Homo-oligomer: A and B are copies of this chain.
Amino acid sequence: MQARSEETRTHILEAALRRFASVGYNAASVEDICTAAGVSKGAFYHHFPSKQALFLALLNDWLATLDAGFEAARKANVPETLLAFTEMLPAIFAAADGRLTMFLEFWLQASRDEAVWQASIAPYERYQQFFTALVEQGQAEGSLRADVEASSAARAIVGLAVGLLLQALLNPQANWERTAQESMEILLNGLMHKRTTT
């Protein structure tokens, strides 16, 4: 049996998430994580070849969660789907508020570390394409303006989401759920068909 083994692995992952989130990648030492996980350093390096590998494992888990959330939020038409995504934002990110910091940490690491970048850029482009396709679909079904580049609209959507999350990180007290909702509505409004003439 490998029940115990998997359990320690899980403990390590959970503890690492907590430590990374609260003090950051660099400040969270391997020993730190081991202590938080109630596990020895030997066990750690038995399960993960390096600290960075652990980091990447967490990244993949997180991306998988995101993927699942996106897939689950599809609605009848495109504008509604986008609003459903907006409603998801706080649920996914703000649940455990520390994750937000991890998100930034990922980004920072990715901008500097080749391995992390490789692991980040692929899903990032997947999301980009996902939203591009969504906008194109909206344009096809007539709910979105056809005179904007779908990929630009996608970047705007992703950018707005990311930017709001970052602001939430800096200033957590504001009610970002509402702000996100309203902001996305403004963006949608700019994307939707003008109701009439010039």
| Assembly stoichiometry (copies) | 2
**Which chain B residues border A152 with CB–CB below 8 Å?**
178-179, 182-183, 186
On whether the beta carbons of A108 and B101 are closer than 8 Å, the reply is yes
On whether the beta carbons of A183 and B156 are closer than 8 Å, the reply is yes
**Which chain B residues border A187 with CB–CB below 8 Å?**
156, 160, 186-187, 190
The residues in A between 24 and 53 inclusive whose CB is less than 8 angstroms from any CB of B are 24, 26
Whole-angstrom distance between the alpha carbons of A172 and B110 in the complex? 12
* Interchain CB contact (< 8 A) of A104 among B107, B121, B178, B182: B107
**Which chain B residues border A124 with CB–CB below 8 Å?**
170-171
Whole-angstrom distance between the alpha carbons of A197 and B105 in the complex? 46
Whole-angstrom distance between the alpha carbons of A195 and B194 in the complex? 8
Q: Does A196 contact B (CB under 8 A)?
A: yes
On whether the beta carbons of B158 and A163 are closer than 8 Å, the reply is yes
Q: Does A23 contact B (CB under 8 A)?
A: yes
Whole-angstrom distance between the alpha carbons of A105 and B25 in the complex? 13
Give chain B nearest CB distance to A117 CB in angstroms: 8
The residues in A between 65 and 123 inclusive whose CB is less than 8 angstroms from any CB of B are 100-101, 104-105, 107-108, 110-112, 117, 120-121
Whole-angstrom distance between the alpha carbons of A27 and B61 in the complex? 27
7 other A-B residue contacts (CB within 8 Å) besides A24-B108, A26-B26, A195-B197: A120-B170, A124-B171, A152-B178, A155-B164, A156-B179, A189-B189, A196-B196
- 22 contacts across the A-B interface (CB closer than 8 A): A24-B108, A104-B108, A108-B108, A117-B170, A148-B182, A149-B182, A152-B178, A152-B182, A155-B164, A155-B174, A156-B164, A158-B163, A159-B160, A159-B167, A159-B183, A162-B163, A162-B167, A163-B164, A186-B190, A187-B190, A194-B195, A195-B197
